[in-house]
Chain A
Amino acid sequence: MGPLIPNGVIPYEWDSVLAILIGIAFGFVLESSGFSSSRKLAGVFYGYDFAVLKVFFTAAVVASIGLYYMDYLGYIRVAELYVQPTYLWGGIVGGAIMGVGFVAAGFCPGTALTSVAIGKIDAMVYVVGIMIGVFIFAEFYTLFQPLYEGSFLGNITVVDSFGVNPYWFIFILTIAAILAFYLTDLLGKKIKKVFY
């Protein structure tokens, strides 16, 4: 049956509408769970708040378990899902830049927008920074192009490229996630509380 839009269960024209609705819901959940606070977000780097790690790890584990159950029951076909293409070096360099920006500002692009929505000035400055970055990238595109389009590995996944059994991979990932939650909890207790 699924994915719904490629298989025509939902007409293709609806995808922007659905994207807006899902985006609103996502922003609402981000804001209501405190992800519009740069102090909370940056806490994962300083070790006093691991909410970011917990949220994204949980999201990944829950989504993959759910998807593979639906695949098993025939509601969705994992093979038909869109996989982001991998540009290896572009990804590494971009990830490093993103990480530096994350530590420095305490936002990732999505959470910055939720913060703008509730009127935080630092987030507005951050978004202006994003715009400047986009402008520089666009102006010097010919310079960045070899990095941006180079080392293309295709739409690969861990399961395909290493030939891992997806079910075992998810199981091990789940164990790793729970271990990470436990260890970060221990770590969080040792580090001096920061109130924000």
Chain B
Amino acid sequence: MNTTKSVSKRYVFLAAILIVLAGGLVLLPKYQKHEGIEPEELLSKAISPERYISTDILADKLVNQDPSFILIDVREESEYTKYSLPNAINIPLKKLLDEESIPYLNQAQYNVILFSNDNFYADQAWVLCNRLGYKNLKVLKGGINNWYKTIINPPVPTEDMTSLDYELYNTRKAASMFFGVAYPEQFKVDKPIEVKKVAPKKVITVQKKKKKPAEGGC
């Protein structure tokens, strides 16, 4: 009798612990848990230089009609209508979290390249989207300003620069022509090189008498 009583006391105690713990879960003050990825992961992604794409690589992709990415212009609509990169989609920073912009940003099919005038607004958009756990996001380094400086109006290399700089300049120049920039030298008509007229040698062909098969005879 004595043992059963102590056992049941123990059970009552254990049951009370369970109820208190479960009740504690109900009564605990709730707090807003942050959604999306961990802060450490966001930080490591933010430090990584891989999140930037340079204007040269972007120009190369555009020229080669790489289908693997979409361009998103996070500037205001008025700026977007004035000038933007070819085939860019306009999602102003304010509308970034709207429902209609989610299908562009939250997908695993394309790389998303965000850009603005410099990379500051694009970086903000990048952080917001990354916090939500969206994937394959990149920022155009330097934004449209840098695009203009490097691709549309590339600096002419001076004579003391290496041949690599000249190569880069030529590529950029060719890319800028692709995007519709006209260079004066394109329209310069080359002077026809004067070539001394050499009187063609007269070739005197001696007509050989054709041997005629013997006619007649027997």
Contact = CB atoms under 8 A, between A and B. Distances in A.
Contacts of A68: 25
A171 B28 CA distance: 12
Contacts of A44: none
Contact of B19 (A69, A167, A168, A178): A178
Contacts of B47: none
Interface string B1-19: 0000000000100010011
A72 B28 contact: yes
B27 to A, nearest CB: 9
A178 B25 CA distance: 17
B18 A174 contact: yes
B9 to A, nearest CB: 14
A62 B18 CA distance: 8
A168 B27 CA distance: 9
Most buried by A among B18, B19, B25: B25
Contacts of A174: 18-19, 21-22
Interface in B102-119: none
A171 B15 contact: no
Given A178-B15, A181-B15, A61 B22 contact: yes
Most buried by B among A65, A167, A168, A170: A167
B180 interface: no
Interface residues of A, number: 16
Interface in A77-124: none
A167 B19 CA distance: 12
Interface residues of B, number: 10
Contact of B18 (A65, A69, A72, A167): A65
B57 interface: no
A72 B9 CA distance: 31
A81 to B, nearest CB: 15
Contacts of A61: 18, 22
A173 B25 CA distance: 13
Nearest to A66: B21
A175 B19 contact: yes
A61 to B, nearest CB: 6
B49 interface: no
Interface in A20-72: 61-62, 65, 68-69, 72
Nearest to A177: B18
A61 B20 CA distance: 13
Interface in B7-45: 11, 15, 18-19, 21-23, 25-26, 28
Nearest to A1: B38
Nearest to B19: A174
A175 B21 CA distance: 11
Contacts of A170: 22, 25
Contact of B25 (A62, A171, A181): A171
B209 to A, nearest CB: 94
Contacts of B15: 178, 181
A65 B21 contact: yes
Contacts of A69: 21, 25
Interface of A: 61-62, 65, 68-69, 72, 167-168, 170-171, 173-175, 177-178, 181
